[in-house]
Amino acid sequence: MKKDKKSPLSLLFFALLAAVIFYFATGMLFRHFFGGFDLYSAQHWQHILGKWKSGFVLRTTKEYLFFVALLALIPGYFILLFGVCRFPFAKVLMLPVDYFRNRKKKELEARSLAAAIGPLPSLKKNAASKKPAKKIRISAENLNRINQLRGKTDPSAASKKEVRQEESSLERAGRFLAQKSEAGNQFDLWETIAEKFEKSGVFILRQMKITSVSFDMVAITQNAMFLLCSGPEKDSVWETADEASPAVWKTENGDIPSPIVPMIGAKKALRDYLAQHSPNYSNIGIYCCMILDRGHISNTDVFIPFLEKNDISVLKAGSCQTEALPNSDALVELITSQPESSQDMNDAVAVAILDLMTV
């Protein structure tokens, strides 16, 4: 274990501080326990010395304790000095600062999560939902595609595609190993999120492109759907310029296209599709959420207002160092707390996504 080395100046400071504490503490203790004896009074010491010269002998327990206390003064000071040296003064002095800093952090986290979520739609049914919902017919081909997006396979097709499934398993394993080495625990992150959603009855679709925008997951609840995606693959410090033309994130190694702006278009396309083909679900909330599991955004003072303006949320996970962003667990807890979606709604959203995937 690496020892904490103190500089001579800091040792001198601690020695003086320990001496001050020792002076007041021992003076108070001796006055309280030994009949008002003032440890730092010359007159009191002359009285003790006179009694000693006159043949004073220790007899009572209190007199023995007084003598032991005197002998313990010097080792007591060094024990106190050791304690003072080990005491976390910086941490204690920073407690008020940390309190206000954490309070500010929670305010920023709440702002960032509210940027995309805000108040969820009322759990009461909309007026439009009073109309009888048009039954959505899903072809066998589309049903198979939906099952694939849900991570489920068609048992009847399993025997015909055994070789392709084996290759797919190898590909998934390869992707898993690559993601492990390149992006930490991103694979585990999405698997953990999917497991929590499915355990809570949240209907999810995985790995799709909506109008050419890649999403890792779509989670559907009774009154809302959440389009979830990963952040940039490279670990960098980003200065976002989402309102620039073209919209970019600036890095030390050059600019990358903004991963946020395309999500706005995908959200609009999905809303327009539902309004045209499934009007009963045109008023459900559609929320775009990006989980940033690495790197750091340097200009959150500009970034968070942009998120609020466009109803998009960015959450942190893994090694992301942007303190102003809320943790992805906050979003997962919010989604799992919502009532389950109906089968008709799941079908409407799934068909919409399938059709938009062909654009």
pTM for this structure?
0.60
Q: Which residue has the higher pLDDT, 163 or 104?
A: 104
Residue with tokens 């309190």: 99
Tell me what pLDDT residue 318 has.
Answer: 87
State yes or no: pLDDT of 113 exceeds 90. Answer: no
String of b and e for 234-262 (b: at least 16 CB within 10 Å)? ebbebbbbbeeeebbbbbeeeeeebbbbb
Residue with tokens 């501080």: 17
Per-residue pLDDT, averaged over 7-17, amounts to: 83
Q: Which residue has the higher pLDDT, 109 or 33?
A: 33
Tens digit of each residue's pLDDT (9 = 90 or more) over 140-157 = 666 676 777 776 654 444
State yes or no: pLDDT of 1 exceeds 80. Answer: no
CA separation for the pair 264, 245 (Å, rounded): 15
Tens digit of each residue's pLDDT (9 = 90 or more) over 279-295 = 888 888 899 999 999 99
Tell me what pLDDT residue 159 has.
Answer: 41
Tens digit of each residue's pLDDT (9 = 90 or more) over 214-248 = 999 999 998 889 999 999 988 899 999 999 999 99
Tell me what pLDDT residue 176 has.
Answer: 46
Tell me what pLDDT residue 3 has.
Answer: 53
Tens digit of each residue's pLDDT (9 = 90 or more) over 318-331 = 889 888 888 888 88
CA separation for the pair 339, 347 (Å, rounded): 17
User: What does the longest C-alpha to C-alpha distance in the chain come to?
Assistant: 114
State yes or no: pLDDT of 172 exceeds 80. Answer: no
Tell me what pLDDT residue 292 has.
Answer: 93
Tens digit of each residue's pLDDT (9 = 90 or more) over 32-70 = 888 888 888 888 888 888 887 777 778 888 888 888 988
CA separation for the pair 51, 49 (Å, rounded): 5
Burial of 21 (0-12, 13-18, 19+ CB in 10 A): middle
* Sign of the alpha-carbon dihedral angle for 195, 198, 200, 204: positive
Q: What share of the chain in percent tops pLDDT 90?
A: 25
